[in-house]
Amino acid sequence: MSTDPTSSNFDPLKALYTETKKKSAEVKVYDNVATFEAKLKRQDTKGKDDTVKKEPKKSKSFSQNKKLIEEAEKRDLSKLKEMMEIRKKMDAAKNEEQGEEAELKVMERKSKLPKNVFTSMKALQLGPMSLLNQLVEKRQRCHVYTRNFVGLRGVLVGFIVAFDRFMNLAMVDIDDTFRTAPLGKVKDHQKPLSVSQLRHALEALKLENKRAADTRGKHRATTGVTVVQKSTSSSNISQNSKALKINRIRGKGKPLEVFHGGSPQLYQRHLRQMYVRGDIIVLITPDS
């Protein structure tokens, strides 16, 4: 029939417009086609009723229950009891181990040192950072050569109190000998600064500081900037120390000498504390 949905000749329009004897209230409406097809399959396999009626369980008689109790009493349950006791002991031991592990973890958390710069310094005692660690522990004075975008900037002579794995330094009691960054076209014809020039300038400044300390009776310590003028000869250190003239500039003033080319002009200042970035450090040597 064309109105039978199970047949291959099913006509949906004819099925919709044909009058049926069944009332609309008796027709069950499905959400989608899949549930309708599943319903048809169940009707083919089980019949018209969807649910399979289950037989109610028959209650056992008193004599049957008595027989089951007697059989259970005759069974040997000693092995089962032993296994249950062993299992209880194993569970108790496992709980104790877990409790001890939890206590150890809590103790480790409490005993852990806080992470800071000083704990990271201890972790860097071996390897290339061992020199910095020795300088910090021995409180030895050192020379830190720095650079800028042109080349060698200057040298910092002082004490390192802290460092990290990126070679960032915290220094105290620093004598900074440096040159200012050249502006404009000066950098094209300015002579590059060398380590030997900085060493000669440092030694000359040591002699000047010693002479000033002998005359004044105390060490010179100033936060101002001093201009170190160029020497005429560089044959030996004593001649350089005589030729060097140190003029102190107080406050924010212009240098006494304007640079127009040749070797760069050096400046010197004393700082109590200083932070040095690791990316500008060229060389670190202990003070001999």
Q: Report pLDDT digits (tens) over 84-107.
A: 899 888 888 888 888 888 877 777
Q: What's this model's pTM, rounded to 2 decimal places?
A: 0.49
Give the pLDDT confidence score for residue 250 in this predicted structure: 37
Residue spans of the chain under pLDDT 70: 1, 20-27, 46-58, 110-113, 212-261
Residue 240 and residue 238: Cα distance in Å, rounded? 5
Give the pLDDT confidence score for residue 173 in this predicted structure: 94
Transcribe 31-48 into DSSP letters.
SSHHHHHHHHHHHHHH-S
Give the pLDDT confidence score for residue 73 in this predicted structure: 80
